[in-house]
Amino acid sequence: MEIESKLALRLKEIKLSSSISTNEKIKCLIKEGKKIINFSVGEPEIDTFPKIKEAAIKAINDNYSHYTNSRGILELRHKISEKLRNENKIDLNAENNIIIVPGVKQALYYLNTALINPGDEAIIFEPYWSTYIDSLKLCGGVPITISGKEENYFKPDLKLLRNKITPKTKYILFSNPCNPSGTLFNRKELEEIVMIAKEHNILIISDEIYEKLVFDDNQFVSTASILEAEDITITINGFSKVTAMTGWRLGFIAANEAIIKAITLVQQQIATCPNSIVQKAAEVAFEQKEEIDQMVKIYQRKRDLLVDGLNKIKGFSCNKPQGSFYVFPNISGLDLGGSTNVSLYLLEKTGIGVVPGIEYGNNFDNYVRFAYTITEKEILEAISRLESAFGKK
């Protein structure tokens, strides 16, 4: 039997994650003894905060190992509701408007399963996290992208947004701050997005996983906090980035009751419920304010080191991002071809691992993504290697 002929045709639309495959290649090189500086991984280099680990151990010792409610532990949902109300100015009910899920990737897949019929369209701001595209395609949806330009800090021209909307459009999706560019949308820009969505009766999915990683006294604004936005906005967030829980796999969706009911149906059939022990550990995550504040200061310092260093090297031009833990420099000045060629060259010739910009949209083949989730010493060493390879300006 030819097994490949039995596979679903929709999988032909999906490609392997470049960031994951790059990281796997780097791990192999490190095992071979190569001295690689790995900027490819979008996860904190630190370990999960001690109090969160202690809460997980306590949950295990307390035998908290059974199924939870399909929407997640009510106590955790109450903590999320309180956080949204106090920090994000979003007033949502813990029982009816919040569901805990096994990570933001799962949140996106659940949402597409619940919202998308074959042929439905979603408008996605570019550069984008590639999961936005592939998760939509897995559910038969059609991605429609609207691209930002470097001179506007990669923010799309919102005047063009209306032109992308058709009767098939289900939602607008973007991350704020953005992966890979670190773009931060301000209140006025969010108000315009909300106004357009309301005019055309479409939803907004606002990925706010990097909300705490905002620098230089910039202010983060949740999309759902905009006047009249709460009912049409689906907020997705999680515990991976600022509490260093990437491998624990836990996130949440906050939305209109009808959407949460639909997501509950999907979760019951795919996961039953999120991991019970991880949920108990996450209850403590909201108490780690001091540790999170310290983490943000460290990442701002790393951002400054990396951006300042890259901008002194021939062939590199780098905006200073307002948030996240990524920089997205223009590498067209290197004259080495597209971003895939540049990434391979950097890895083979300098021992530096980055992700090709083409992963984040076809219009970004002149860029690469650096995740500065490494030590300051490694950042300085990387700058030194790049200076040796390409020279100073």
Q: Over 80: is that where the pLDDT of 18 sits? A: no
Q: Over 90: is that where the pLDDT of 333 sits? A: yes
Give per-residue pLDDT as tens, 74-91.
999 999 999 999 999 999
> What pLDDT band is residue 276 in, cutting at 50, 70 and 90?
very high
What percentage of the chain has pLDDT greater than the value 70?
100
- For residue 60, the SS3 value is helix
- The reported pLDDT for the residue numbered 365 is 98
- The reported pLDDT for the residue numbered 52 is 97
- The reported pLDDT for the residue numbered 27 is 83
- The reported pLDDT for the residue numbered 25 is 83
Backbone angles phi, psi at 106, to 5 degrees: -65, -40
Q: Over 90: is that where the pLDDT of 13 sits? A: no
Q: Tell me what the mean pLDDT of segment 23-37 comes to.
A: 87
Taking CA atoms, 372 is separated from 38, 48, 138, 301, in Å, by 9, 18, 31, 10
> What pLDDT band is residue 12 in, cutting at 50, 70 and 90?
confident
Q: Tell me what the mean pLDDT of segment 153-181 comes to.
A: 97
Q: Tell me what the mean pLDDT of segment 259-263 comes to.
A: 99
d(CA 202, CA 199): 8
Give per-residue pLDDT as tens, 115-137.
999 999 999 999 999 999 999 99
- The reported pLDDT for the residue numbered 306 is 99
Q: Tell me what the mean pLDDT of segment 334-349 comes to.
A: 95
Q: Tell me what the mean pLDDT of segment 310-328 comes to.
A: 98
Backbone angles phi, psi at 168, to 5 degrees: -90, -5
- The reported pLDDT for the residue numbered 20 is 79
Mean pLDDT is lowest, of 11-15, 22-26, 296-300, for 22-26
Which DSSP state fits 127?
Answer: S
Q: Tell me what the mean pLDDT of segment 148-160 comes to.
A: 94
User: Around Cβ 148, how many Cβ atoms within 10 Å?
Assistant: 22
Q: Over 90: is that where the pLDDT of 243 sits? A: yes
- The reported pLDDT for the residue numbered 295 is 95
Q: Over 90: is that where the pLDDT of 31 sits? A: no
Q: Which residues share a beta bridge with 392?
A: 313
Q: Over 80: is that where the pLDDT of 1 sits? A: no
Mean pLDDT score across all residues of the chain: 96
d(CA 308, CA 290): 27
Domains and CATH numbers, the chain: 3-48+290-390 (3.90.1150.10), 66-285 (3.40.640.10)
Q: Over 90: is that where the pLDDT of 388 sits? A: yes
Q: Tell me what the mean pLDDT of segment 199-213 comes to.
A: 98
Q: Over 90: is that where the pLDDT of 303 sits? A: yes
> What pLDDT band is residue 297 in, cutting at 50, 70 and 90?
very high
d(CA 92, CA 124): 25
Start-to-end CA span in the chain (Å)? 60
**Is the pTM for the entire model greater than 0.85?**
yes
